Amino acid sequence: MSLKWKNQGENRDNDFLDMVFATATSFIFFMGIAVVATVISLIR
C-alpha cells in the first residue's frame, strides 16, 4: 500500500496518514490490553 502511494508522488500526506493510523492502532491495542487486564483483576 505504501509503495503504491509513494509512486503516485503523494509522499507527505500518505506518510502522515500511515503514522496517524499506526499510532491510533497501537493506542487502541494497548488500551484493549489494559481493559482486559483490569477486568481480569476485578473478576479475581
What pLDDT is attached to residue 36? 97
pTM for the model? 0.52
Tens of pLDDT, residue by residue, the chain (44 residues): 455 555 555 556 778 889 999 999 999 999 999 999 999 999 98
Provide the pLDDT for residue 40: 97
CA 37 to CA 43: how far, in whole Å?
A: 10
| Cβ–Cβ under 8 Å, residues 30 and 42 | no
